[in-house]
Structure 1
Amino acid sequence: MIEPANVLLSGIVGSTAYGLAGPGSDIDRLGLFAAPTTAFHGLTFPEDSVVSKKPDATFHEARRYANLALSGNPTVSELMWLPEDLYETRHPLGDELIGIRTAFLSAKRVRDSYLGYATQQFKRLEARGDGSFSADTRKRTAKHARHLLRLCVHGLDLYTTGHLRIRLDDPQRFLDFGERVAAGDVDMASRTMADYESRFDTTPTPLPNEPDRAAVEAWLRRVRALFFDAAG
């Protein structure tokens, strides 16, 4: 695994965090790091993401991470909501980020992002037909279906409560859903999408109309101040 310098926060995400991992599941890691502040003073900016495979790990530079999270990106945002035992690196500025995680939230972006990602999963399911495909394709289809339901459940929970519970209460429900859709019941996925879209439209939310960009900006400036080296 390639890990950049100055990691502020990192942890295990994905299926392991949700409680959906099986014997052959990959362990996905996500984190953010701070590039030296003087690296932004030249003609080119430093690399804003570091990605490695086997093991799968993605680290975003602090500015990129903040902008992705402000856009409502579910994959990126879940790093701030992990159960304590899944964190692997916690710098004080990473703890500060966790402390302001609600500053990234806004009603429209949560709704649009989670339903948008779920729709992407649904389109993959539609393209795979009626269940009469290879075992490998069926396995991938079940995975897409599980994550469609997971995105709907996580998104509505966050939209309704203002808090994201990463670990699923009933993982078997998602596993069964994936197998049923992979067996050919794509209509079940379609009905689920329609149901959750309706719930989003009719459920009150405590989330604000806009994220608290000032709080995020203040955090990022603290990152830049800490990692400034006048001699760099």
Structure 2
Amino acid sequence: MDVANVILSGVVGSTAYGLATPESDIDRLGVFAAPTVLFHGLRPPVGKKATKVSTDPDVTLHEAGKFAALCLGVNPTVTELLWLDEYETRTELGERLIGIREAFLSAQRVRDAYFGYAVSQFKRLEGRGDGSFSADTRKRTAKHARHLARLVHQGLGLYRTGRLTVRLQDPQWYRGFGERVAGGELDEAKALLGDAEQQFDEVRTPLAERPDEDVVERWLIEVRAAFL
């Protein structure tokens, strides 16, 4: 996919988590800056037009303004780009974006985004029965269960420390958890969520109550000035 003005990009998803299998796709995520003049026209690059997607290879690029908005909501699949160990594209503006990554965070939004997303994954699992389904469905269910556990643990880590660890410490545990849940052990997933909810209630977090939107806005204005 040929998109101009990419300022930060890297490999995310299962590969970044350490959960990739030989069948896994390599997912790339990035941020690009649309020419500032376009925001003064009749059809500014916002909403759906602010995201570029290709499937061969799998690449998603969000325009800087949309990316910032998604990160302020602590969207897990977008936020992780700012916490990778390495990048494929890392410009000066991208470096500054990484440098303000804590400004996007806030306690309640972290909890809502990660724990809330995990709960929604669990509801999908509950609708798939007791494990007596096709091999293909079981494979998808195991994947959803792995990512449920990942979201819980990454979210708790971020809530507890103010920092997101993308690479999982014990990928094999997540694979085993996924297989067990896909085999019908939904109580294990329910227990994981129950324990996580209790920890979110009890742990002290260094995260602020609100994100620092002033810092984010200054960065975005820098981007607009750079591509005026």
Q: TM-score range by the shorter chain?
A: over 0.9
Identity, in percent, stands at: 64
Rounded Cα–Cα distance in structure 1 between residues aligned with 2:191 and 2:225: 50
- Higher mean C-alpha deviation, range 153-162 or range 186-195: 186-195
Match of 2:197 in 1: 197
Matches within 5 A, 1:51-130: 51-84=53-86, 87-130=87-130
Aligned partner (choices 38, 47, 50) of residue 48 of structure 1:
50
- Give 1:33's aligned amino acid: F
Rounded Cα–Cα distance in structure 1 between residues aligned with 2:43 and 2:187: 49
- Higher mean C-alpha deviation, range 57-66 or range 43-52: 43-52
- Give 2:66's aligned amino acid: R
The Cα of 1:28 is off from its aligned counterpart by 0.5
Q: String of CA shifts for 1:59-104, please: whole Å, max 9, x gaps.
A: 00000000000011011000000012xx111111000000000000
Q: What TM-score comes out, normalization by structure 1 length?
A: 0.96
- Give 2:52's aligned amino acid: V
Is residue 184 of structure 1 aligned with residue 189 of structure 2? no
Rounded Cα–Cα distance in structure 1 between residues aligned with 2:40 and 2:57: 33
- Give 2:183's aligned amino acid: A
The Cα of 1:161 is off from its aligned counterpart by 0.3
Q: Secondary structure at the match of 1:58?
A: strand
Structure 2: 5+ residue runs without aligned partners? none
The Cα of 1:43 is off from its aligned counterpart by 1.3
8 Å contact from structure 1 (residues 105, 208) kept in 2: yes
- Higher mean C-alpha deviation, range 174-183 or range 2-11: 2-11
Rounded Cα–Cα distance in structure 2 between residues aligned with 1:91 and 1:21: 27
RMSD: 0.7
Q: What TM-score comes out, normalization by structure 2 length?
A: 0.97
- Give 2:16's aligned amino acid: A
- Higher mean C-alpha deviation, range 215-224 or range 3-12: 3-12
Rounded Cα–Cα distance in structure 1 between residues aligned with 2:176 and 2:193: 17
Rounded Cα–Cα distance in structure 2 between residues aligned with 1:122 and 1:51: 27
Moved over 6 A (4+): none
The Cα of 1:44 is off from its aligned counterpart by 1.2
The Cα of 1:164 is off from its aligned counterpart by 0.7
Rounded Cα–Cα distance in structure 2 between residues aligned with 1:219 and 1:161: 24
8 Å contact from structure 1 (residues 3, 50) kept in 2: no
Q: String of CA shifts for 1:114-172, please: whole Å, max 9, x gaps.
A: 01110121111011100000000000000000000000000000000001111011111
The Cα of 1:3 is off from its aligned counterpart by 3.7
Rounded Cα–Cα distance in structure 1 between residues aligned with 2:54 and 2:3: 11
The Cα of 1:54 is off from its aligned counterpart by 2.7
- Give 1:112's aligned amino acid: D
8 Å contact from structure 1 (residues 62, 220) kept in 2: yes
- Higher mean C-alpha deviation, range 47-56 or range 218-227: 47-56
